[in-house]
Chain A
Amino acid sequence: GQQLNQSPQSMFIQEGEDVSMNCTSSSIFNTWLWYKQDPGEGPVLLIALYKAGELTSNGRLTAQFGTTRKDSFLNISASIPSDVGIYFCAGRSRVNTDKLIFGTGTRLQVFP
C-alpha cells in the first residue's frame, strides 16, 4: 500500500540535544499527524495539523504542515530519555478522509 517517506530512519542522540525529522509525500494531504509508538504499544497521537504552513507545539514538540501540503516536520527540543521510541507521520488525503497513510517511522534513541 501507499506509504509516506520519512527520514531519517533512525537517530542516536545525546540527552539534551534537539531532534528534527520529516515526512514527504507525492500526494497532497489536508491533515498531517504525528504519532509516537513505545515498545509493545500502539501509536499515540502527538500533534495534528490542519492547514498549510501551520506550526503547532505540544510541550517540547513542534510540528509544521509544509506549504506545499506534501510534507511535514517534527522537532523535539531538549530531548530526554523517555523520548525514545518510534515516531510516525500520517497523512489524511482530501479524496479519502476515512483513511490514514503512515510513514515508515523514525526510530529515536536517546543516550544519557
Chain B
Amino acid sequence: GAGVSQSPSNKVTEKGKDVELRCDPISGHTALYWYRQSLGQGLEFLIYFQGNSAPDKSGLPSDRFSAERTGGSVSTLTIQRTQQEDSAVYLCASSPRSASYEQYFGPGTRLTVT
C-alpha cells in the first residue's frame, strides 16, 4: 500500500509570500503529525491531529503557521508571510491510532525562503 506522501517535494519562495504544504497520510490512519527539521537539528513538533478532536497546536512557532485536516485525511500546512528562518524540511507523519509510537513519515517538503 501507499505510504505517506507530501507535496511539493521542494518549494522555493520569496520572503513575504504565503506557502501551502500538503500531506496525504496512509489510508485509515487517524493521527497526523507535522514536524519541522532545520539544518543540523532534530525534528521539532508543530501540530497533531487525532480524528475529529481539536488539534494540538502547541508546537506552532508563530501565528503565521496554521494547519487544517479535511475529512480526517489530507492535511495542509500553511505558512503566511514567510521568513528566511522558515527555511527547513517539513515532515508529515501518520499513525494508525493515538498514543502510538508507530509514526510513519513522508519524504518531506524542503522549503527555501529567499
Taking Cβ atoms with an 8 Å cutoff, the residues of A that contact B are 1, 3-4, 6, 31, 33, 40-45, 48, 88, 90, 92, 97-105
| Contact between chains at A98 and B31 (CB < 8 Å) | yes
Stretch of B39-47, B69-77, B78-86 with 4 or more beta carbons under 8 angstroms from chain A: B39-47
Contact A42 B48 (CB under 8 A): no
Q: Is the CB of B42 within 8 A of A103?
A: yes
B50 engages A98 (CB within 8 Å): yes
What is the distance, in angstroms, from B57's C-beta to the closest C-beta of chain A? 12
Indicate the member of A40, A43, A44 with the most B CB atoms within 10 Å.
A43
Contact with B105, one of A40, A43, A103 (Cβ below 8 angstroms): A43
Give chain B interface residues in 87-112, CB to chain A under 8 Å: 91, 93, 98-99, 101-108
Contacts of B104 in A (CB 8 A): 42
Given contacts A45-B101, A92-B101, contact A4 B31 (CB under 8 A): no
Query: Once A and B bind, how many residue pairs between them come within 8 Å at the CB atom?
Result: 60
Residues of B bordering A, CB below 8 Å: 4, 31, 35, 40-45, 48, 50, 56, 59, 91, 93, 98-99, 101-108
The docked-state distance in angstroms from the alpha carbon of A48 to that of B101 is: 8
Known: A33-B101, A98-B56. A40 touches B42 (CB 8 A): no
- Determine the chain B residues whose CB is within 8 A of the CB of A42 once the complex forms: 4, 91, 93, 104-108
Q: Pick from B41, B48, B91, B107: contact of A99, CB below 8 A.
A: B48
Q: A92-B101, A98-B98, A100-B101 are in contact. Are A1 and B44 (CB under 8 A)?
A: yes
The smallest beta-carbon distance between B81 and chain A, in angstroms, is: 22
